[in-house]
Chain A
Amino acid sequence: MAARRKRISRQQRWTAWGVLTVLAAIVVWLGLAQSRLNPAVLVALSPPPPPGAAASQASGRTFADAAWLESLPTAEPAGPTESYDAETLSDRIDGKAELYLAANFQEMSIRPFRLPDGTRLEVAIYTQATPTDAFAVLSSQRRPGAKPSPVSPDAYATENALYFTKGNRYVEMTADRAEASTGPALAALALKLAEALPAGDAAAAGQGAARDVKALFPAEGLDPGSVRLAASDAMGMEGFSNVYTAEYALPAGPATALLAERDTAETAAADARAFAGFLKQNGYAPTPPPAGAALPAGAVVLGTVGSYEILWTTGRLLAGVHDAVNLEAAVELTARLAASLKDVTP
C-alpha cells in the first residue's frame, strides 16, 4: 500500500471523473424512467374492467335506459354508466338476478353519482316488461323497517336508500351514508328522475283491461307497506304466479289477504283448486267453518295447527285469506275482502 504512487496522471483523473459522470447520468435517467409506470402497475392500480362494459361492447346492443343516467340535477356523475341485459345481469347482481328475470326483465343501467355534500350514491334503473312486473320486483324485496316515500304510490325509503317504480321501470337509489340530510336529498333527486321517466302506457305494456288489483284490498287493518306481488312461485307453489298479498292486523290476530287476476274465470277456479291441493299436500286439512260464518259462495276452508286458509273465486279474481293465525281472523278478513270485491265487475 505504501508503495502506491501519490501522483496520478491527468488522463486517469479525467477518466475517473468521466466514469462518475456516466453514473450520475444513469441516476438521472433512472429518476426519469421510474415515473413512467409499468403497464403491470397501471393495471394493478385501476379497477378491473366492469363485466357490463365488456358485455355491452360484445353484444353491441344499446341500452335506452342509460340515457336517463346521463345527468341528474345536483348530482355529479362519478363513473361511467354500466348496462346489462338478461344474459349479463347475473354478472352484476349474482344471486338476485333470478328475481328480476322471473318478472320479465329487459335491461338495467347503473351509474355512480356524487352529491354536493360528498355523498356517493348509485342509481340503478331496471326496465321490466310491464308496470306490474316493476311492482313485483319492488314489492318482493321490500326492506324491513322501510317507510313509505311520496315519490310514487309504492315508493319506500330506508335510511340510506330509496326505491320506487314509474311505469314499467323500477329504480333503486342507494347512498353510502345515512345522515339526516340523506333522505330528503335522495327524495328530491328521485322526484326529478321520476318526473323525467316516461309514465309507460299500461295498455301498450300488455296489461289488457288494466285494473289495479292491489287497490282492491280493503283499507281497514291493512299494513300499507305490506302489499306485495309475487311474480312467480307464490307461497312456495311452483307455477302459482302474479299473486298479490297484503298483511292485515285484525282484532282476532294477524292474517294475509291474497288476490290474483286471471284471464278467465275458469283459469281462476283452476288455480284456486291447484293451490288448495298444494296446501293439502303440505298438511292442511279441510276444516269446518264456524257456525254462522257468512262465507262467499264456493269458499274452501283449510287448516292446520295455527294456520288457516280460505279460498274462493269471483269471476276472474282469485281471492283468499292466507296463513291466518286462527279461524276467527280468517273468517273476519274473508268478510272484509268479500265486501271489498262485491262492487267489482268480475
Chain B
Amino acid sequence: MTLPKPPGEGAATGSPDLRQGLDRRQFLRRLAGASVLAVAAGGLGAALYDPKGPAGAAGGKVLASLGDFRAAPPPAGKPRLATVHGADRRAMFDLGVKALGGMEAFVSRGDVVLLKVNAAFASPAILGATTHPDLLAAAIEACRAAGASRVLVTDNPINSPESCFEVSGLSGAARSSGATTLLPRPALFSPLTLPGGRLITDWPVLAGAFAGVTKVIALAPVKDHQRAGASMSLKNFYGLLGGRRNIFHQDINGVIAELGQLMRPTLVVLDGVSAMMANGPTGGSLADLKATNTMIFSVDPVAADTLGVALLGRAPADLPYLALAQAAGVGTMDVASLAPVTLTLDKAAG
C-alpha cells in the first residue's frame, strides 16, 4: 500500500520532519485500526453468514417425551390397582396406597415428585371441578413421609392460573403441606413432537415443570365432559399442553390417546368420592355432583378410567379414547390383569 502524496506544496513548509513523523505514525495506527475493524466485521459476517436464508419453521430443539416415571413393577400377583370406598379422602388415600405396597413402593428417599392436579377452573373445591385439596394434602404428606426431597404441584389451567390454584384451595393445601406450586409461565413450555403422533407435533408442552423430577403422581377428579364423555386421569393430562390446545377438541379421542403416550406417570389417583354427573367439565352447582364414595389407585391410567367411568353411569365403550389409548400401548382396559383389590374404609379401619 503506497501513501498518496499530500496535495499542494504547503505541506513542505513548517516543521517538516517532526510533523511528518507524527503524521506517519498516526496514519499507520489508523490503518491498523481500520484493518482490524474491517477484519472483525468480516469475521463476524462470516461467523453469522447464512447463505440459504431462514427456514420456514422456527426450528430449534424439539422434545419427544416428557418422560417415563413408572416405578418397578411389584412381584407378580401383587395388586397394581386398588379401589377404596369411603368418604374421607385422606384416610382413603392412605389405605389405597398401602394396598399397593405403601408409598415407599413408588417414592424413594431423595425423589423429586411432581403432582399433576386438575386445577382447570377457578372454582371452589366443593363444586368438584378440580382436584380436592384434601387429596392433594394427603398425597404431599405421603410423599414427604416416604422421603421425597421436593414435592411440586402443577397444572396449566383454563382460567387464569393464579385464580385457579387459589380458589380451588390447591395452593393453600400445597403451602400448608410443604409443596411448591409451579404456575405455568411461557418459559416452562417447550415444543414436543410425539414420535408417531398425529396431533401432538411441534406442540408446546409444560416441560419446564418436569426439570429434575423423578416421580409423577396424577390426581384427578371424576367428571362429566361434554366433548370427551368423561374427564378422568387420561383427560387430566390435557393440562400438560400449552398453546391454543383447544383446537384438539376437533379430535378429542385422538388427542387423549396421544396424551397418554406423552408421559408415563408413577401412579394415578382417580378421586370419585363425589363425581360430577352433568354439566361437565365446569359444573357449577352442587346438584351436578353425586356422592359416589370411590377412589381408584392405579399404575395404569387406562385401567383407572375404565373402572372410573362406571361412577358416571357410563360404560367404557362410551369413551372411544380408552380403546385408542390401549391400542397405542398406554395401558390396558383389562382391569383384572392388574390383580385389583377393593377395600372399604370402615371395615379396614375397624
Pairs A-B, 5 closest by C-beta atoms: A9-B7, A11-B4, A11-B7, A11-B5, A12-B7
Which of chain B's residues has its CB closest to A8's CB? B7
**Which of A1-53 touch B at CB < 8 Å?**
9, 11-12
The tally of residues in A whose CB lies under 8 Å from a CB in B reads: 3
Q: Which residues from A are CB-within-8-Å of B7?
A: 9, 11-12
Interface of A is mostly: helix
Give Cα A11 to B8, complex, Å: 11
Give Cα A11 to B4, complex, Å: 7
**Which of B1-40 touch A at CB < 8 Å?**
4-5, 7-8
Give Cα A140 to B259, complex, Å: 56
Give Cα A72 to B4, complex, Å: 76
Q: Which residues of B contact A (CB under 8 A)?
A: 4-5, 7-8
Q: Which residues from B are CB-within-8-Å of A9?
A: 5, 7-8
Q: How many whole Å from B4's CB to the nearest CB in chain A? A: 5
Which of chain B's residues has its CB closest to A11's CB? B4
Which of chain A's residues has its CB closest to B4's CB? A11
Give Cα A12 to B7, complex, Å: 9
Q: Which residues from A are CB-within-8-Å of B5?
A: 9, 11
Give Cα A120 to B147, complex, Å: 87
Q: Which residues from A are CB-within-8-Å of B4?
A: 11
Q: 7 pairs across A/B with beta carbons < 8 Å?
A: A9-B5, A9-B7, A9-B8, A11-B4, A11-B5, A11-B7, A12-B7
Give Cα A108 to B8, complex, Å: 86
Q: How many whole Å from A132's CB to the nearest CB in chain B? A: 44
Q: Which residues from B are CB-within-8-Å of A11?
A: 4-5, 7
Give Cα A322 to B237, complex, Å: 70
Q: How many whole Å from B7's CB to the nearest CB in chain A? A: 5
Q: Which residues from A are CB-within-8-Å of B8?
A: 9
Which of chain B's residues has its CB closest to A5's CB? B8
Q: How many whole Å from B1's CB to the nearest CB in chain A? A: 15
**Which of A208-248 touch B at CB < 8 Å?**
none
Q: How many whole Å from A14's CB to the nearest CB in chain B? A: 9
Which of chain A's residues has its CB closest to B5's CB? A11
Q: How many whole Å from A18's CB to the nearest CB in chain B? A: 12
Give Cα A9 to B5, complex, Å: 10
Give Cα A76 to B4, complex, Å: 69
Q: How many whole Å from B44's CB to the nearest CB in chain A? A: 26
Give Cα A11 to B11, complex, Å: 15
Give Cα A12 to B4, complex, Å: 10
Which of chain B's residues has its CB closest to A15's CB? B4
Give Cα A9 to B10, complex, Å: 13
**Which of A128-142 touch B at CB < 8 Å?**
none
Give Cα A11 to B5, complex, Å: 8
Q: How many whole Å from A276's CB to the nearest CB in chain B? A: 50
Which of chain B's residues has its CB closest to A10's CB? B5
Give Cα A281 to B4, complex, Å: 107
Q: How many whole Å from B53's CB to the nearest CB in chain A? A: 13
Which of chain B's residues has its CB closest to A12's CB? B7
Q: How many whole Å from A17's CB to the nearest CB in chain B? A: 15
Give Cα A164 to B40, complex, Å: 76
Q: How many whole Å from B114's CB to the nearest CB in chain A? A: 45
Q: How many whole Å from A280's CB to the nearest CB in chain B? A: 50
Which of chain B's residues has its CB closest to A9's CB? B7
Give Cα A62 to B307, complex, Å: 52
Q: Which residues from B are CB-within-8-Å of A12?
A: 7
Q: How many whole Å from B79's CB to the nearest CB in chain A? A: 53
